[in-house]
Amino acid sequence: MDISLITYDGLPDLDPDDCLLRDELVKRGHKCHTCIWDDDSIDWSKFDVSIMRSAWDYHLKQDKFYAWIDRVSRVTKLLNPPDMMKWSSHKIYLKELGEAGLPVIETLWVMKGETAGGLFDSLQWEKAIVKPAVGLATFGVKRFMLDEQGRKDAQAHADHLAITGDVMIQPYLTSVEDYGERALAFIGGEYSHTVRKSSFQKLAPGGHAGETSVPTDEEEVAVGREVLKFLKNRPLYARVDLVRDFEGKPKVLELELVEPSLFLQFAPPSAPAKFADALERIVELHKV
C-alpha cells in the first residue's frame, strides 16, 4: 500500500514513535510518505490510506482542519475515520461519556458567547482548572486557587476563552502531581500499554516530555475498555487519559482519537507490528 503518515509543520520528520511505526510498515513492503496535513500541494488521492499522527496545531486552525478532514477523506482512506476524529476533537464528548455512565471528571461548561457569571462563587473546590473544549498539549489550560482573587481570575479566563469557543471547568485533581496522569494506549481497539504523564506536560515528541513507563493497572484498563466500547467502531489507535479523583477512583480526562502520541517507545516491542496488523485488517475489511 501507499501510506501517508500525517504530521504538522512543527514536526516534519515525524515523532520517534511514528518512526518505529514507519519502519514496521516499510519492512512489510508498504511505501510510507510523511505528509504535513495542511500542505496544499499534496495530492491525497495518491495514497491508499492516510494515517493521522501528529497534527498538533489543529486547535489553532479548527475550521481549516474540519474542512480538510472532509476533503481528504473523500479521496483517501483517512484513519482514524473522519467522524470519529471530528467527534473527539471537541471535549463535549465527555458529557456523552458521563451520560452513558462512564466515570468522567466532573465538568461544568460555559458555551461560546456565554459568561461564567457567578459560577465560581458557588464552587466548593480548593482549586479549579479552566480550559478550552478544543485544545491539546495544555493549550489554554489554567489552574486557579478558589480564594477571592482566584475566583475573579478564573472567571476572567473562562470569559476570555468563551469569546472564541466552549469552555470547561473542573476540580483540580491533585493526584496528577504524585500518582500522575495515566495514558492508556489502545492499538486496533486492544489495550497495549500505559505511560505516566507528568502534570501540565508540554508538547514534545513522544518520550521527550517527562513521560515514563508504568505497569498496567487492571482497574484503569477496565475503565479504558468501557470507554472504547462506547464507540460504534474500533479505532485504529486511541488513548484514554485517566486521573485519580479524591477517592482514588480513575476518572476519564480525555479520549484521544485524533493526534495522541502512542508512546510506542514505552510499549512492548510487538506494538508496531500490532499497529500494522490492525491497519491491514481495517483496509482489508474496507475492500469487501
Ligand X SMILES: Nc1ncnc2c1ncn2[C@@H]1O[C@H](COP(=O)(O)OP(=O)(O)O)[C@@H](O)[C@H]1O
Nearest residue to 259 (alpha-carbon basis) of 241, 278, 283: 241
77 vs 131, beta carbon nearer Mg ion: 131
- How far out from the chain centre does Cα 227 lie? 13
Q: How many CA atoms lie within 13 A of 185 on its CB side?
A: 26
Nearest to 230 by CA among 72, 40, 88, 58: 88
Under rule CB under 6 A, residue 200 binds ligand X: yes
| Smallest gap from residue 253 Cβ to ligand X (A) | 5
- Candidates 170, 192, 194, 261: give the one binding ligand X (CB under 6 A): 170
Q: Give CA angle at 6 (135, 25), nearest 5°.
A: 130
x-or-dash string of contact with ligand X, 223-252, rule CB under 6 A = ------------------x-x---------
In terms of CB distance, is 35 or 184 closer to Mg ion?
Answer: 184
134 forms part of the interface with ligand X (CB under 6 A): no
Would you say 176 or 276 has its CB closer to ligand X? 176
Report yes or no: 72 and 50 within 8 Å, Cβ to Cβ: yes
State the minimum distance, in angstroms, from the CB of residue 181 to Mg ion: 7
Per-residue b or e along 15-49, where b marks 16 or more CB atoms closer than 10 Å to that residue's CB: bebbbbbbebbeeeebebebbbbbeeebebeebeb
Between 66 and 125, name the residue whose CB sits nearer to ligand X.
125
Pick one of 66, 109, 139, 179: the residue that binds ligand X (CB under 6 A): 139
Own/partner contacts of 147-156, CB < 8 Å, gap of 24 or more, are 151/120, 151/121, 151/123, 154/116, 154/120, 154/128, 154/130, 155/115, 155/116, 155/117, 155/119, 155/120
Radius of gyration (C-alpha) of the chain in whole angstroms = 19
- Residue 172 interacts with ligand X (CB under 6 A)? yes
Pattern 239-268, Mg ion, x by CB under 5 A: ---------------x--------------
Q: Which is nearer to Mg ion, 166 or 254 (CB)?
A: 254
Candidate ranges 67-75, 166-174, 231-239, 273-281; the one touching ligand X (CB under 6 A): 166-174
Give the binding site for ligand X (CB under 6 A): 105, 129, 131, 135-139, 141, 170, 172-173, 176, 181, 197, 199-201, 241, 243, 253-254
Give the binding site for Mg ion (CB under 5 A): 254
